Structure formats: C-alpha cells, structure tokens
Amino acid sequence: MAEKMLRGKAPLTVWRGANGGAGGSLYRGGVLDPKMVDADDRDRLVTEGFLDYVVRDGESWKLAEDTDTGEKGDPVTIGETGLPPAGEQDNGTVNTPAETPADPELETRRAAARAKLPADGSAPKATHGQDVWVEYLVAQGGNYDDLAKQDKKELQELAARRES
C-alpha cells in the first residue's frame, strides 16, 4: 500500500514539528510527510479539517480515509492553491474551527492577556495571572480550550516541562 501523506485543506495551516523539531506551514493543496508533524498537532489538524490523509494513485492522489468532504478513494487535487474544491469548507487562514463562534468579550480578555506577554517570547513572570500563562502556552502551540481549563500552577509546570 502507498504511504500516507498529509494534504493541506485550509488556505494556510501552521503545524508543530515532531520531537520538538521545527514546524512549518502548509498551503492548500500542498503535501507533507506526516512523520514531520507533532503527533498531537497532526491528529488535531486532521480532526478539525485542516489536513487530509492522501495516497498516490499513479500520477494523481486520492483520499486515504473518509472525511467530512469525501470518501476513501475519492480523487483530490494536489499542488493547486486556488479555491477549494466544491463542498470543501474554507476554515480561513488560522487553525480555528469555522464553527467556533466569535466571542468579543473573550477576544478582548485574550488580547489584554497577550499584551502582558514579554516581547522576547520568554515565559511570563510568576506573578502574572492564569490568563497570561494560557496565552503564553497558546503562542507555543497549545490549544486554548484545553489550556484554559487548567489552573495557573499546572500551566507553569507545563511551561517548565516544555522549556526543559
């Protein structure tokens, strides 16, 4: 069986590198070796519809598994960064599911917390609040919804583990 690869579905998807390595970005229609992507990030990006698994089919490509926009074996376009094929949802240029409603109050609080982050990208001071620690870890590639559920001490421990 042909080796599975990842295909970009969103206009631009940013991914974290495997084993702490460098990540990157993938345009719609681009192909990426899944071994290069952090396993948790890869699973999230596939689940949220930013990436698809595809396999070679002679000179073309096809879906390697069923998705919300097609079935295993359906032909797909590779290498074209224009408009998505009919029926494929455009999630925008950020890795946020399209169905997540925007909450202006939450966005205001998050922006205020991001404004308190050190400009050099280092960890915030221990005296900063839980919201600042959440935004710091989101900037490091974490998922906001998961991090927002944790208390400040857990977030600081997670940041310390990531830095070591």
Q: Judge contact between 76 and 54, C-beta under 8 A.
A: yes
- 113-155 pLDDT, tens digit per residue, is 999 988 888 889 999 999 999 998 888 888 888 899 999 999 9
> Does residue 97 lie in a domain region?
no
134-155 core/surface letters (b: 16 or more CB in 10 A; e: else)? bbbbbeebbeeeebbebeeeeb
87 within a domain of the structure (yes/no): no
Q: Verify that 10 and 72 share a domain, yes or no.
A: yes
Q: Reduced to 3 states, what is the DSSP secondary structure of residue 37?
A: strand
Q: Tell me, yes or no, whether 92 lies in a domain.
A: no
**Residue 121 and residue 69 share a domain:** no
158 in the same domain as 118: yes
**Residue 83 is assigned to a structural domain of this protein:** no
Which one of 61, 76, 91 terminates a domain? Answer: 76
- Domain containing 58: what range? 5-76
Residues 120 and 62 in one domain: no
Instruction: Let me know if residue 31 belongs to a domain.
Output: yes
Q: Does the structure show a pLDDT above 80 at 25? A: yes
Question: Total structural domains in the chain?
Answer: 2
* Domain's final residue, options 60, 76, 92: 76
Do 17 and 67 fall into the same domain?
A: yes
pLDDT of res. 64: 82
Model pLDDT, residue 162: 78
Measured N-to-C along each axis, helices 152-163 and 130-139 cross at an angle, to the nearest 10 degrees, of 30
Q: Is residue 142 part of a domain?
A: yes
pLDDT-based confidence at 104, cuts 50/70/90?
Answer: confident
The predicted model scores a pTM of 0.47
Domain contains 61 = yes
**Residue 158 and residue 150: Cα distance in Å, rounded?**
10
Whether 68 is in a domain gets the answer yes
Q: What percentage of the chain has pLDDT greater than the value 70?
A: 85
